[in-house]
């Protein structure tokens, strides 16, 4: 029973004590009414309905959404400018998700006590990818700000035509504490990140992406208050509306579908080149794949391999687009988005679990 309950919702709903109104459905107890109510909810929300592809693609063009996660101070300072150069040369736009607040990534060291993470550290060559300063950030040395520390670099993302969204306030804490904190903890983190975004960009964020593809019922429901066009909080197969305890949320999810380089290296693939060749084969017309890259990795030691991937994608006629454009292209097919449940699942090469798109209901 516990297993099936888990498939219908990631965590039992608890009342939230927050300033914004959480999504209000009908009382939990009346299942029939809840199912009726589910039929009444429109299949899409207004902000998502309003988006149109900026350039319609010829039929049969393979497309991939590019999601760029910025998780650390150094990723923001060095990785983002590097990626802006690489993307500029390739004429490609992507969606940058920015961790806004303190870089506590040094706390990851404490996770090294867990054997799975230790193995992953060695496999991904983390000591090479992250400098000693990053590894110590928030532990022995004070935490430095991520996007909030570099407003000019953040603004360049938007001025160069990319999409920018909120990744987190404190990325590391979200990853470590989401499921261990009271229900309003996530709401406060989302609020802090939202305010920080507004103070840098002067506009409201239109998309959020949960750190480490990890969300829960509370965070998904709370996100409904921000008027987002879409969110990218989980792994999955294609864009969908989340169903939480027989409630359909109005913010569509554009899930990450493809493995990441750090999951693959030394695990399923021996080199970045062979990983990217595999990714190219996975991008097929009529599907809606999303690739996640990291400012710390593809904007760092693997920038060359990523640039080579973009060149090959172009040769093969693959359109690499921001996630909003991918969703717009998907909605332009006229086929309604599926409604799917979420659960937690492990992915190959990654420590712990991620939130995963599950069954269509």
Would you call 337 helix, strand, or coil by DSSP? coil
The answer to whether 239 and 290 are in contact (CB under 8 A) is: no
The answer to whether 342 and 355 are in contact (CB under 8 A) is: yes
> Closer CB to Zn ion, residue 165 or residue 211?
211
Considering only the stretches 110-118, 139-147, 204-212, 322-330, report the one whose residues sit in contact with Zn ion under the rule CB under 5 A: 204-212
Considering only the stretches 121-129, 208-216, 261-269, 345-353, report the one whose residues sit in contact with Zn ion under the rule CB under 5 A: 208-216
Considering only the stretches 83-91, 109-117, 144-152, 207-215, report the one whose residues sit in contact with Zn ion under the rule CB under 5 A: 207-215
Q: Does 233 engage in binding with Zn ion (CB under 5 A)?
A: no
> Closer CB to Zn ion, residue 84 or residue 99?
99
Q: Does 71 engage in binding with Zn ion (CB under 5 A)?
A: yes
Residue whose C-alpha is closest to residue 212's, from 350, 342, 323: 350
Tell the smallest beta-carbon distance from residue 79 to Zn ion (Å): 12
Considering only the stretches 42-50, 64-72, 134-142, 176-184, report the one whose residues sit in contact with Zn ion under the rule CB under 5 A: 64-72
Provide the H-helix boundaries in the chain: 2-8, 31-40, 46-50, 73-74, 80-90, 108-111, 115-124, 126-129, 132-136, 151-159, 171-177, 184-201, 217-223, 261-264, 272-282, 303-315, 323-331
| Helix H or strand E segment including 75 | none
Tell the smallest beta-carbon distance from residue 25 to Zn ion (Å): 30
Considering only the stretches 66-74, 107-115, 252-260, 343-351, report the one whose residues sit in contact with Zn ion under the rule CB under 5 A: 66-74
Q: Does 69 engage in binding with Zn ion (CB under 5 A)?
A: yes
Considering only the stretches 103-111, 122-130, 210-218, 335-343, report the one whose residues sit in contact with Zn ion under the rule CB under 5 A: 210-218
| 207-226 as b/e: b if 16+ CB within 10 A | bbbbbbbbbbbbbbbbbbbb
> Closer CB to Zn ion, residue 87 or residue 256?
256
The answer to whether 148 and 76 are in contact (CB under 8 A) is: no
> Closer CB to Zn ion, residue 210 or residue 319?
210
Q: Does 170 engage in binding with Zn ion (CB under 5 A)?
A: no
Dig out the tokens for 212 from the structure: 């480490």
Tell the smallest beta-carbon distance from residue 149 to Zn ion (Å): 16
Q: How far apart are CA 334 and CA 67, in angstroms?
A: 24
Q: Does 102 engage in binding with Zn ion (CB under 5 A)?
A: no
Dig out the tokens for 169 from the structure: 């306030």
Based on DSSP, count helices (H) and strands (E) in the chain, helices before strands: 17, 13
Tell me the C-alpha to C-alpha distance, in Å, between residue 124 and each of 76, 266, 280, 349, 352.
Answer: 20, 7, 21, 9, 15
> Closer CB to Zn ion, residue 216 or residue 330?
216
- Which residue in the set 25, 94, 211, 239 belongs to the binding site for Zn ion (CB under 5 A)? 211
> Closer CB to Zn ion, residue 108 or residue 318?
108
Tell the smallest beta-carbon distance from residue 234 to Zn ion (Å): 13
Tell the smallest beta-carbon distance from residue 69 to Zn ion (Å): 4
> Closer CB to Zn ion, residue 69 or residue 325?
69
Q: Does 191 engage in binding with Zn ion (CB under 5 A)?
A: no
How many binding residues for Zn ion (CB under 5 A)? 3
Residue whose C-alpha is closest to residue 307's, from 63, 69, 82: 82
Q: What x-and-dash track marks residues 308-327 binding Zn ion by CB under 5 A?
A: --------------------
Residues contributing to the site for Zn ion (CB under 5 A): 69, 71, 211
């Amino acid at each position: 029973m516990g297993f099936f309950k888990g498939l219908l919702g990631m965590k039992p709903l608890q009342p939230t004590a927050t300033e914004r109104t959480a999504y209000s459905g009908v009382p939990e107890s009346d299942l029939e009414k809840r199912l009726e109510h589910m039929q009444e909810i429109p299949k899409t929300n207004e902000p998502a309905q309003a988006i149109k592809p900026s350039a319609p693609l010829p039929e049969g063009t393979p497309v991939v959404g590019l999601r760029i996660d910025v998780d650390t101070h150094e990723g923001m300072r060095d990785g983002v400018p590097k990626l802006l150069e690489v993307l500029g040369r390739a004429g490609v736009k992507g969606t940058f998700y920015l961790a806004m607040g303190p870089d506590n990534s040094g706390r990851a060291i404490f996770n090294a006590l867990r054997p799975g993470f230790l193995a992953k550290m060695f496999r991904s060559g983390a000591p090479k990818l992250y400098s000693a300063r990053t590894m110590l950030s928030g532990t022995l040395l004070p935490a430095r700000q991520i996007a909030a520390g570099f407003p000019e670099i953040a603004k360049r993302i938007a001025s160069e035509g990319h999409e920018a969204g909120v990744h987190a306030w404190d990325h590391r804490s979200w990853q470590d504490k989401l499921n261990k904190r009271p229900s309003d903890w996530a709401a406060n983190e989302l609020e802090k990140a939202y305010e920080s975004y507004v103070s840098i960009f002067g506009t409201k964020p239109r998309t959020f992406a949960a750190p480490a593809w990890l969300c829960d019922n509370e965070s998904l429901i709370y996100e409904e208050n921000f008027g987002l066009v879409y969110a990218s909080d989980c792994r999955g197969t294609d864009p969908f509306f989340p169903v939480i305890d027989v409630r359909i949320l109005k913010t569509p999810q554009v899930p990450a579908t493809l493995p990441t380089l750090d999951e693959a290296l030394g695990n399923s693939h021996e080199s970045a080149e062979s990983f990217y060749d595999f990714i190219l084969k996975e991008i097929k017309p009529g599907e809606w794949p999303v690739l996640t890259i990291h400012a710390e990795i593809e904007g760092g030691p693997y920038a060359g391999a990523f640039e080579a991937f973009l060149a090959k994608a172009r040769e093969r006629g693959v359109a690499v687009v921001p996630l909003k454009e991918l969703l717009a292209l998907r909605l332009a097919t006229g086929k309604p988005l599926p409604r799917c449940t979420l659960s937690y699942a492990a992915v190959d090469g990654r420590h712990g679990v991620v939130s995963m798109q599950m069954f269509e209901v």
